[in-house]
């Protein structure tokens, strides 16, 4: 993890530790059902397995993923990275997994972020950027 990712991870743990398990650097195959037609399952797994998100918050009691979080740094402006981000968003949207994109973690509105994560558990709302 980068220093920025580590700082944000510590914030997540401090803020949500009582309610959620917080997993850093999660591959999508751990949180998304990739099954489909048998002949396409391996290809679907490979496609999803090669992608990850910075954090996943899971309910402590049910272990159900609540939301995925991505910290966007300057590398997210690269063309290849933009294409990858679009595909990750598509995969998570198809799985009805809320994705929170944080454009600048150093300037995030933490109160708004905390409220959004709390609501994500109940409403499973769509993507949100901060």
Q: Convert the pLDDT of each residue in 88-125 to its tens digit.
A: 998 898 888 889 988 877 788 888 888 888 776 654 44
- Say if residue 130's pLDDT is above 70: no
Residue holding tokens 């580590």? Answer: 6
- Say if residue 25's pLDDT is above 90: yes
pLDDT of residue 79: 84
Whole-angstrom CA distances from 22 to 36, 63, 81, 87, 110 are 28, 10, 24, 23, 17
Enclosing domain of residue 124: 3-129
41-45, 70-74, 78-82: segment of lowest average pLDDT: 41-45
The total of structural domains in the chain comes to 1
Region 123-130: mean pLDDT is 48
Pair 1, 9: CB distance under 8 Å: yes
Report the distance separating Cα 36 and Cα 48, nearest Å.
Answer: 13
Region 1-9: mean pLDDT is 90
Pair 97, 67: CB distance under 8 Å: yes
pLDDT of residue 24: 96
Measured in whole angstroms, how far is the alpha carbon of residue 2 from the centre of its chain? 16
Residue holding tokens 């905390």? Answer: 114
76-98 as b/e: b if 16+ CB within 10 A: eeeeeeeeebeebeebbeebebb
Pair 31, 52: CB distance under 8 Å: no
């Amino acid at each position: 993890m980068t220093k920025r990712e580590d700082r944000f991870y510590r914030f997540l743990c401090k803020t949500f530790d009582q309610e959620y398990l917080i997993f850093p650097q999660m591959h999508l195959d751990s949180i998304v059902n990739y099954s489909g037609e048998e002949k396409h399952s391996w290809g679907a797994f490979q496609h999803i397995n090669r992608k990850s998100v910075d954090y996943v918050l899971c309910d402590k009691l049910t272990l159900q993923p609540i939301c995925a979080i991505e910290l966007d740094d300057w590398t997210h402006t690269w063309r290849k990275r933009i294409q990858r981000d679009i595909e990750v968003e598509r995969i998570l949207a198809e799985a009805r997994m809320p994705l929170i994109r944080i454009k600048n973690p150093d300037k995030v509105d933490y109160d708004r972020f905390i409220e959004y994560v709390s609501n994500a558990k109940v409403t499973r709302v769509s993507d949100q950027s901060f």
